[in-house]
Amino acid sequence: MSGYRMMMLGPPGAGKGTQAKRLAQELEIPHVSTGDMLRDAKRRDTELGREAAEYMNAGKLVPDEVVIGIVAERLEQDDAAQGFILDGFPRTRPQAEALTDMGVELEAVINIEVSDEEVVRRLGGRLSCPECGAVYHKEANPPSQDDVCDKCGNRGLVTRDDDRPEAIKQRLASYHRQTAPLVEFYEQRGVLEAIAGEAGPDEVTQEILDRLAD
Ligand code: ADP
Ligand code: ADP
Ligand code: ZN
């Protein structure tokens, strides 16, 4: 199978994290999520976390140099030597260029396509576990016991600060303005795989695996 250096592209709420976790397990490569790393820094209240929180809570992108720095450091770790799944990076053209400058040639960019209406439905119902990062949906994928994380048993699932209506609007705008141009960027490089993202999670996973096997 090809595609060991891959990336998940798509609007907020497209299902990038949900799919990246499954693929990472299936392909035995690390899931590198800038959103997860930034939220972790926020939770630990580090300098990085405090800086990033202002942008994140407003639904704005964290400055390029900050995110590029944490990704460069993460990809140098040993477990990334055989490949990785980037989730949520790159999100701007300068970030994509910085990745190339790090010597990373992506073999597959999985672009999960969903409408803005579906984004609003998904983010509006997303529940996240603050302890382990597991993700649920109030209607489409509820935890088996109300308010308890299936994965780690933590009681108290939360709506992310940026999954509130004003922030969702802002994130969609940032996506269309800053991130959507990467579709063409990677299409031109011949690595883009467009995936219909509105099907159920199992179907989407299968479609991605089929595409990677081609
Ligand atoms: P992203 O990482 O792109 O922001 P997530 O993987 O966190 O997206 O998914 C956003 C929300 O949509 C979550 O509540 C998740 O449970 C739900 N979700 C993910 N994939 C699907 C799907 N194929 N169908 C319905 N809901 C989904
Ligand atoms: P989403 O559900 O929107 O895909 P993520 O968890 O990937 O959310 O990202 C959450 C927030 O973290 C973003 O709205 C942004 O503020 C910040 N962030 C994550 N990745 C990046 C990035 N590559 N560049 C700039 N900001 C980022
Ligand atoms: Zn949990």
Give the residue numbers marked as catalytic.
16, 91, 126, 160, 171
Measure the CA angle with vertex 9, ends 8 and 14; round to 5°. Answer: 95
Top pLDDT among 82 and 205 is at: 205
How many Å apart are CA 22 and CA 202, to the nearest integer? 10
- In the chain, the domains with their CATH numbers are 5-120+178-213 (3.40.50.300)
Q: How far is the CA of 43 from the centre of ligand 2 (A)?
A: 15
87 CA: nearest ligand 1 atom: 2
pLDDT digits (tens, 9 = 90+) for 65-104: 999 999 999 999 999 999 999 999 999 999 999 999 999 9
pLDDT attached to residue 189: 97
Name the 3-class secondary structure at 67: helix
How many Å apart are CA 208 and CA 111, to the nearest integer? 10
Q: Is the dihedral of CA 162, 71, 61, 43 positive or negative?
A: positive
pLDDT at 1 over 80: no
